[in-house]
Amino acid sequence: MFTKQNHGQRELSHPQLGLVQLVGEGRSNREIARIIGTTEQAVQDRLREIQNKLGLSHRLELMFWHIENQKRR
């Protein structure tokens, strides 16, 4: 499922990790935009950047990535 499994949290900035946390909580792009004070399009763009950085293709993979990295803490 994950194309680049060895990519870790160190590669994500603190704000990016915050977005991943919100995705991991099951928040929609609309909810995330409201929480961080931006547009849905900006959230979508940032999430796509994060997914590309981690080598992930889908939001669900990002959720699984978040869960897996929470276990490692």
CATH architecture of 12-71: Orthogonal Bundle (1.10)
pLDDT at 71: 79
pLDDT at 73: 61
3-state secondary structure 3-58: CCCCCCHHHCCHHHHHHHHHHHCCCCHHHHHHHHCCCHHHHHHHHHHHHHHHCCCC
Whether pTM > 0.75 for this model: the answer is yes
Residue numbers of the chain with a pLDDT score lower than 50: 1-6
pLDDT at 8: 54
